[in-house]
Chain A
Amino acid sequence: MDAFLHQLFSGVATGGIYASVALALVMIYQATHHINFAQGEMAMFSTYLAWTLIAAGAPYWIAFVLTVGISFVLGVVIERVLIRPMAHAPVLSVVIVFIGLLVILNSLAGWIFSYTIKSFPSPFDGVIPGNAFMSPHELGIIGVTLVVLALLYGFFRFTSLGLAMRAAALNPVSSRLAGIRVGRMLGLGWGLAAAVGAVAGMMVAPVIYLDPNMMAGVLLYAFAGALLGGIDNPIGAVIGGFVVGVVENLVGTYLIGTELKLTVALVLIIGVLVFRPAGLMGKVVVIRV
């Protein structure tokens, strides 16, 4: 039983990472109607930035905040330089740009930081009394994830800027007619998605170690989570992310072994696409022709 609970909680912890990345995917999907395949590599690159800062002697939380800030700016720049010129391009062109960005960031990280696997520190240590099921870092991941989610929820739900960003993503023409600068809002959305990804990268790196390919698996699980919850539904994507984390861990431990865990994500993706393409909480979009 203890072992089971341990697996369950560590599933929730990794689920938090997937939920964050899934949310970043949904934010960009809602604004551009494309999946940002480079989301994982953007997070990986941010994590290397944090590692560099820490290696240079910065205290963990200062490096953390700086990394989130720099990632935000990089996200805005990527939108401005790479994505905006593609606004009216065919789907495949956009996908190619995303994949190009993925490869570039991956190679750049390998070139600058080398492909050697590095360890990444966790700010959470010590022993939590009476807690046999979770490591301090897992508990920390869950805490940080919940804080990030709560901040984002509050921002989008209650602030004018959040409302403007939602409006710009939902209906660009109407938003312009309300005086909203839609391009600026999309840039902000990319910045936020990059910042959320950076947090996820820094949280997962102590568990899976830092290397240029670290986010490949994470992105796949996050994608499965986003699809499961509904790619156009932020709350669904978050729940989907947590569910995938738990399922992946339990199935990996008790059914198919850790080597085959990644197939869980693929089975989920295919299963959702075949049986319920809109996801569990997504909306079926009907297009009148």
Chain B
Amino acid sequence: MPALLEVSDLCAGYGAADVLDRIAFTVEEGGVTAVLGANGAGKTTLLRAVCGLIRRRGKVRFGTEAIETRATEDIVRLGLAHAPDGRGTFLQLTTEENLRVGALTRRDRAGVAEDMAKVYRYFPRLKERRQQQAGTLSGGEQQMLAIARALMLRPRLLVLDEPSFGLAPLVVQDIFSIMRTVNREDRVSILLVEQNAKLALDLADRAYLLETGRVIRGGPVAEIRDDETVRRSYLGY
């Protein structure tokens, strides 16, 4: 089966300078791909390039479409939902309005209502705070809201930028177990960028190592996990 997302020769950056250097990776249909790397390796830039938020060149194929020249809005409408770093919450809107924004491009009202109920089931905390201004939510709740908002698109691919960033370990476990459910039961493929390699590798079936804008290792998780460099620098044993 062909991959859902296939990236090759991707260069991207801000201003005149390229941050990413000929990146290649894939996300399998129904799979989870993790991109690991230290601060400043270019992880967030990579996701922004895939979503067309920054200048990029190379090849990006999503499903049957070439998206390297498409506008962000159009890429999203193909079913690629991105929960950005800093979480991208609409702070002045209520929790529920944030979720409705996530589903604005959809026309199937019944499906939207269904998904709203579903994300509230995944994240009961959000249901308790549905009428509350999103700006008053805690960091963990805002991360949940970002994922929930992305899920409201009923995406084929969920793109997550460091979902564990700045959160308490228990909250992180919670979020990762819901991501597993989303992947297994709702059949949503996931592209995940993480610093927490152990968590990411537990969830993923493919992983790539990013260092100063280059992919230095990549492949099925079983191989990556056994890799000497990965073990030492990312897993710490």
Contacts and interface: CB of A to CB of B under 8 A. Distances in A.
A167 B76 contact: no
A226 to B, nearest CB: 17
Contacts of B93: 163, 166-167, 170
Given A163-B100, A164-B101, A177 B76 contact: yes
Nearest to B78: A179
Secondary structure class of chain A's binding surface, majority of residues: helix
A178 interface: yes
Given A160-B100, A180-B73, A181-B73, A174 B105 contact: no
B88 to A, nearest CB: 4
A170 B90 contact: yes
B90 A167 contact: yes
Contacts of B100: 160, 163
A179 B90 contact: no
B56 interface: no
Given A166-B93, A170-B93, A173-B53, A179 B88 contact: no
Nearest to B92: A170
Contact of B90 (A160, A174, A182): A174
A179 B105 contact: yes
Contacts of A258: none
B215 interface: no
A252 B160 CA distance: 59
B170 interface: no
Contacts of B104: 160, 163-164, 167, 178-180
A8 B208 CA distance: 71
Interface in B35-94: 51, 53, 71-73, 76-77, 81-82, 84, 88-93
A176 interface: yes
Nearest to B71: A176
A163 B97 contact: yes
B84 A173 contact: yes
Contacts of B53: 173, 176-177
B73 A176 contact: yes
Contacts of B84: 173-174, 177
Contacts of A180: 73, 101, 104-105
Nearest to A157: B97
Interface range on chain B (Cβ under 8 Å from partner): 20 to 34
A171 B90 CA distance: 6
A44 B112 CA distance: 44
B153 interface: yes
A132 B197 CA distance: 78
A175 B102 CA distance: 9
> Which of B72, B100, B102 has the most chain A CB atoms inside 10 A of its CB?
B72
Contact of A177 (B72, B91, B92): B72
B73 A167 contact: no
Contacts of B89: 171, 174
A263 to B, nearest CB: 34
A171 B88 contact: yes
A163 B98 CA distance: 9
B149 interface: yes
Contacts of A163: 93, 97, 100-101, 104
Contacts of B153: 178-179
B105 A173 contact: no
A171 B93 CA distance: 11
A176 B92 contact: no
> Which of B71, B90, B91, B97 has the most chain A CB atoms inside 10 A of its CB?
B90
A173 B73 CA distance: 10
Nearest to A176: B72
A184 B62 CA distance: 25
A6 B149 CA distance: 52
Contacts of A176: 53, 71-73, 76
B88 A174 contact: yes
Nearest to A174: B88
Nearest to B100: A163
Interface string A148-189: 000000000000100110110011011111111110000000
Nearest to A181: B73
Closest 8 CB pairs of A and B: A174-B88, A179-B105, A179-B76, A176-B72, A167-B101, A179-B77, A177-B82, A178-B101
5 contacts: A160-B100, A170-B92, A173-B84, A178-B149, A182-B73
Given A171-B88, A177-B53, A180-B101, 16 more contacts: A163-B101, A163-B104, A164-B104, A167-B93, A170-B92, A170-B93, A171-B90, A171-B91, A174-B89, A175-B101, A176-B53, A177-B51, A177-B72, A178-B104, A180-B105, A181-B73
Interface of B: 51, 53, 71-73, 76-77, 81-82, 84, 88-93, 97, 100-102, 104-105, 149, 153
